């Protein structure tokens, strides 16, 4: 494993790692995928949260499949603030916009938490990539161009 790209090295197994994966996941090497799977952290995506909500409230199954940004943010906010303190996560498919990234940063700050890494792949939204690059949180696999 390349020591220059190991966002999990300071976490002793990564149980508390807080990571965002932007863009497509197909760019990850098999070794990186296995490393992420071994972290024993919650893997979260907006689609997964919607499926959980539908399983608890079947009447939502008939609701519109594509949620608007306000309901997406409400769902992710509930998840964020319901998490155990210092619980790690791998978040995919969110944030998709600069507004969502800034809102998510505010939620983490309100909880006294911060991200450990943001990994950008092909298809990652350029404004979100730039935001996390400016914050010094962006990691890129060797040879990967996030822009």
CB 21 within 8 A of CB 144: no
Q: Cα dist. 102→20, 55, 60, 127, 131 in Å? A: 13, 30, 28, 11, 9
Task: Report the CATH fold assignment for 13-139.
Answer: Rossmann fold (3.40.50)
Kindly list the domain boundaries of the chain, sorted by start residue.
13-139
- Residue 50: closest CA among 72, 21, 70: 72
Q: Pinpoint the alpha helices (H) of the chain.
A: 30-37, 46-56, 69-82, 98-110, 126-134
> What global pTM score does this model have?
0.69
pLDDT in tens, 31-88: 666 666 666 677 676 665 555 554 555 555 445 444 477 888 888 999 999 998 878 8
CB 119 within 8 A of CB 22: yes
In this prediction, residues 15-21 reach a mean pLDDT of 82
- Any idea which of 98-102, 129-133, 141-145 has the lowest mean pLDDT? 141-145
- Residue 51: closest CA among 41, 39, 60: 60
CB 11 within 8 A of CB 116: yes
Triad 50, 122, 8: Cα angle to 5°: 75
């Amino acid at each position: 494993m390349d020591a220059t790209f190991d966002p999990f090295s300071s976490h002793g197994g990564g149980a508390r790692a807080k990571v965002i994966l932007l863009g497509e996941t197909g760019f990850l090497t098999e070794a990186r995928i296995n490393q992420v799977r071994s972290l024993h952290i919650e893997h979260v995506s907006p689609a997964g949260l919607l499926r959980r909500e539908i399983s608890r409230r079947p009447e939502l199954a008939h609701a519109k499949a594509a949620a608007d940004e306000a309901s997406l943010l409400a769902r992710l906010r509930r998840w964020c603030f319901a998490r155990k303190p210092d619980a790690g996560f791998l978040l995919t498919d969110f944030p998709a916009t600069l507004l969502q990234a800034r809102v998510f940063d505010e939620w983490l700050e309100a909880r006294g938490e911060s991200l450990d890494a943001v990994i950008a792949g092909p298809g990652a939204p350029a404004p979100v990539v730039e935001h996390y690059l400016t914050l010094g949180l962006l990691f890129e696999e060797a040879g990967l161009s996030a822009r």
